[in-house]
Amino acid sequence: MSVFRGFRAILYKEFLVVLRDPFTLFLMLFPPVLEMVAFGYALETDVRRMRTALLDEDRTVESRRIVERFVNTDTFRIVERVGSAEELAAAVRKGRVYVGIDIPPGFARDLEAGRTARLQVLVDGSNSSVAGSALNTAVALALRESMERLASAAGVRELPFEVRPQILFNPAMRSPNFFVPGVIGVVLQIATTFATAMSLVRERERGTLEQLFVSPLRRWGLLLGKLVPYLLISGVMAFALFAIMSGLFDVPIAGSPWVLALATLLYLFALLVLGLLISTRAQNQMQALQFSMVFVMPSVFFSGFIFPRDTMPVVFRAIGACLPTTYFIETARGVVLRGATLADVAPHLGVLAGMGGILFVLCALRFRWKLG
Amino acid sequence: MSAGNTNAMDGPMIECAGLTRRFGKFTAVDDVTFSVGRGEIFGFLGPNGSGKSTVIRMLCALLEPSGGTARVGGFDVAREPERMKPLIGYMSQKFSLYDELTARENLSFYGRLYGFHGAALRRRFDELVALTHLAPYLDRRAALLSGGWRQRLAMACALVHEPAVLFLDEPTAGIDPVARRELWGLLFDFAARGMTLFVTTHYMDEAERCSKVGYIHLSRLIVSGLPDDLKRLPEVNPAGTRRIEVACDHATAGLRVLRGLPGVRSATAFGQSMNLLVDATVTDGAVRASLGAAGIGMVDVRPTGPTLEDVFVALTDRANGGGR
Ligand SMILES: Nc1ncnc2c1ncn2[C@@H]1O[C@H](COP(=O)(O)OP(=O)(O)OP(=O)(O)O)[C@@H](O)[C@H]1O
Ligand SMILES: [Mg+2]
């Protein structure tokens, strides 16, 4: 117990400090939740029920049927019917709709006569994911329509070829399912690394660290006393974030919540220790902030949170391999989306635990029990 | 107040030899040597930036010395800091406290840090509160305490474990005169019970109360010793001179007159009187006559000894390379 001397006193004080100021606690807990909700919605790249304007100059049974097929894909939603091509273009240009469908006169006649029946789809290309999705859906729809017609003309009952994809995980292919675990990883990183880095640097700035240095407190006692309260707080925060994930974003946890909890705990430990390590270098809060950002930015870009790591240049992939966030996101996605078991994610957990352990030792070695 | 387990039964409680600290190329403390015996109050004086806090930090094992040695309570601060630390209490220049905690919580935190629990903690807590009269302010947040009460709280925290040696870095800076006197009352009590005190200050009246003083100037310790010994130093009392105190009804005008009088080496005003260092050839009559010629009355001249300020001024002048 002697290497941890002073641990309980520090613990007592940290809890008092944290609880004393509910506003600070709120400031620590609330932004991550907000970030999570904002990130989660902002990253909703699924395109469904796009606002669509319709110009039906044909006004036949055939034209209405094809519009219905468009709507049935769930990609398009007719919100406006216009009377001219100019109005249609204007609706897209002004941003009232993303897509304009123009069925020219003679559409049904051409179809009947076996000529190529044309219809025009205007797509707002300024939003690339919307444009891509609209385009794909429209082309696929046209192809299928054509095939069916050709087949029935040839007296073929069934199409000769069909792919039946079965999406195993995340069957609805919703992007929140993919992104939200990553958002949780990044959001936790921002809040925790910062919290411990600040808490020690504040003591340095205020001069209380000097006071601790002359006491019988040992470095392990101090470091652990700083870690434990923040581990608890950020644990609660992580719990809230996962609750939001499954409640608000409708992303169920396919695997064991306990495995997820274990991964989160290891991840938080590594992050908090990283914060302590930063505080051994940073002389003031500004520096602590800057150092923390140095770690947060790569975690956003190289952890696989947004961009898949497989397609990254090897340098970026290597950077990603050094970040705890990478392993947490992998694990969280595995457990949440694919129902991965403890055995499946054990290698990742091992890396997280190793990182936390190494950082902690590094921290204790780096943490000079002196000033200057 | 018990005085811990020291390694120095009879030797000095604080002892440094050639103590030096450099920050890069700058030498903040240069070859400082002195010692302080048990139960002494050592007053450490010097201008801003002269290195007082740096010396204290080295003695508390907060800073590594760049050279020389220091022992506190018989333990080498560089080699045995963990054995030395339980003996010392340290109150930093900033009265560092946890602002978001109340006075009670601050004190009780330091109590726990030093291993007090339960009934023992409560007993020690009550003793310290009684000693520092903190009772009415216990539930106030440290951030909201005024300077004097912050200082008392910081001192109570530094005293939790009944240290044998207490380091106080400018404990009376920004403190009102009454609180200052009360603090010194406490310090005398502690010293009487065997505690060794190391106090930095800018106040000469506080220096006069110390059993031993040291003066540091531009990183070098210019002098250390008993105040009375220092006042008898030949540098302070040059041969063929004497010190007189002159009271009159117009001290500022009198100062101007006397500074012009041949044989007056220095003259300093203290309220309605002046302290002069004059050549022995300057008689009381000559002083009276020159003041009278300037229309200044109610003149009273009497011989006096040097103050500590005179000592420090004389020695600083010499260290800077000769008198005025
Ligand atoms: N950590 C440090 N790094 C660099 N320089 C330092 C450091 N600490 C102190 N100094 C310098 O050393 C010199 C002595 O500082 P110190 O704080 O010991 O002076 P002091 O006598 O206590 O002054 P004051 O009366 O203003 O408290 C100053 O010039 C200061 O700038
Ligand atoms: Mg100082």
Q: What is the CA radius of gyration of chain A?
A: 28
Q: Is residue B5 part of a domain?
A: no
A with B: how many residue pairs have Cβ under 8 Å apart?
Answer: 74
CATH of the domain at B297: 3.30.70.100
Residues of A with CB under 8 A from a CB of B: 6, 8-10, 12-13, 16-17, 20-21, 206-208, 210-217, 370-372
Specify whether B109 is located in the same domain as B251. no
In angstroms, the CA B86 to CA B164 distance is 9
For residue A303, the SS3 value is coil
Q: Is B315 inside any structural domain?
A: no
Shared domain check, B277 and B136: no
Distance CA A247, CA A265 (A): 21
User: For a pocket test of ligand 1, which of B25, B27, B44, B54 has the largest count of ligand atoms closer than 8 A to its C-beta?
Assistant: B54
What is the Å distance from ligand 1's center to A205 Cα? Answer: 15
> Nearest C-alpha to atom 24 of ligand 1 is from which residue?
B48
- The per-residue pLDDT for B322 is 55
Q: Per the structure, how many domains does chain B have?
A: 2
Q: Residue A8 and residue B112: Cβ atoms within 8 Å?
A: yes
Four-residue CA torsion sign, A138, A140, A144, A147: positive
Q: Which residues of A touch B97 (CB under 8 A)?
A: 208
Q: How far apart are CA B198 and CA A190, in angstroms?
A: 45
Distance A89 CA to ligand 2 centre (A): 75
Q: Are residues B245 and B186 in the same domain?
A: no
Residue B171 sits in the same domain as residue B260: no
- With CA atoms as reference, the chain B residue closest to A203 would be B98
- In this structure, how many other beta carbons lie within 10 angstroms of the beta carbon of residue B222? 18
Summarize pLDDT for A106-123 with one digit per residue, the tens.
888 988 888 888 888 888
ipTM: 0.85
Whose C-alpha lies nearest to ligand 1, atom 1?
Answer: A372
Name the helix (H) or strand (E) containing A44.
none
B111 in a structural domain? yes
Across the strands, what pairs with B245? B275, B302
Supply the mean pLDDT for chain A.
85
Using alpha carbons only, what angle is made at residue B280 by residues B275 and B282, rounded to the nearest 5 degrees?
75
Ligand 1 atom 10, closest CA = B28
- B185 versus A370: the higher-pLDDT residue is B185
Task: Please identify, by atom number, the ligand 1 atom nearest to the C-alpha of residue B24.
Answer: 4
Determine contact, residues A197/A282, Cβ cutoff 8 Å. yes
Q: If one looks up domain A50-153 in CATH, what number appears? A: 3.40.1710.10
Q: What is the pLDDT of residues A176-223, one digit of tens each?
A: 677 788 888 988 888 888 888 888 888 988 889 999 999 988 888 899
- In this prediction, residue B323 carries a pLDDT of 44
**Which ligand 1 atom is at minimum distance from the Cα of B29?**
14
**Which CATH number does the domain housing residue B151 bear?**
3.40.50.300
Per the CB < 8 Å rule, is B92 touching A206?
no
The answer to whether residue A173 scores a pLDDT higher than 60 is no
pLDDT tier, A138 (very low <50, low <70, confident <90, very high otherwise):
confident
B186 and chain A in contact, CB less than 8 A: no
Same domain, B97 and B243: no
Which residue, of B172, B198, B225, is where some domain finishes?
B225
Region A242-248 average pLDDT:
87
Is B60 at the interface with chain A, CB within 8 A? yes
CA angle A261, A262, A266 (to 5 degrees): 115
Residue A161's pLDDT is what?
72
- Structural domain contains residue B22: yes
Cα–Cα nearest to B64, from B50, B89, B81, B49: B81
In this structure, the answer to whether residues B248 and B103 fall within a common structural domain is: no
Q: Which residue of B has its CA nearest to A210?
A: B62
Range of the domain at B141: 14-225
Q: What are phi and psi of B309, to 5 degrees?
A: -60, -45
Residue-wise burial string across B286-321, b where 16 or more C-beta atoms lie within 10 A, e elsewhere? bbbebbeebebeebebeeeebbbbbbbbbbbeeeee
Q: What proportion of chain A, given as a percentage, has pLDDT over 90?
A: 27
Give this prediction's pTM: 0.79
CA of A277 to the centre of ligand 1 (A): 27
Same domain for B80 and B26, yes or no, is yes
Secondary structure of B250-275 in HEC code, one letter for each residue: CHHHHHHHHHCCCCEEEEEEECCEEE
Q: What is the mean pLDDT of each run of 10 residues along chain B (324 residues)?
A: 54 94 95 95 94 96 94 94 92 90 95 94 95 94 92 94 95 89 93 95 92 94 90 87 90 88 88 88 90 87 89 83 53
List the 72-91 stretch of B: residues with Cβ below 8 A of A.
82, 85-86, 88-90
How far is Cα B205 from Cα A354, in angstroms, rounded to an integer? 60
**What mean pLDDT is predicted for residues A349-370?**
89
In a domain, B312, yes or no: no
Ligand 1: which residues within 6 Å by Cβ?
A 372; B 23, 28, 46, 48-54, 93
Residues A101, A76: contact at Cβ < 8 Å?
yes
* Residue of A17, A207, A211 with shortest CB distance to B101: A17
pLDDT at B3: 45
Q: Which residue of B has its CA nearest to A22?
A: B100
Give per-residue pLDDT as tens, A269-285: 999 999 999 988 888 88
d(CA B48, CA B217): 9
3-state secondary structure of A239: helix
Residue B56 CA: nearest ligand 1 atom is 18
Residue A282, helix vs strand vs coil: coil
Q: Domains of chain A: which residue ranges?
A: 7-43+174-371, 50-153
Which tens digit of pLDDT belongs to each residue from A34-83?
877 777 676 655 567 788 999 999 999 988 998 998 888 888 889 999 99
B154 plus B296 within the same structural domain: no
- Whether residues B169 and B70 share a domain: the answer is yes
Cβ <8 Å between B105 and A13: yes
Greater confidence, A103 or B95?
Answer: A103
Q: Is the pLDDT of residue A158 over 80?
A: no
Q: What is the pLDDT of residue B215?
A: 93
Same domain as B292, residue B171: no
Q: Note whether residue B320 is domain-resident.
A: no
Please indicate if any CB of chain A lies within 8 Å of the CB of B156.
no
CB contact under 8 A, A214 and B105: no
Which residues keep their CB under 5 angstroms from ion ligand 2? B 52-53, 93
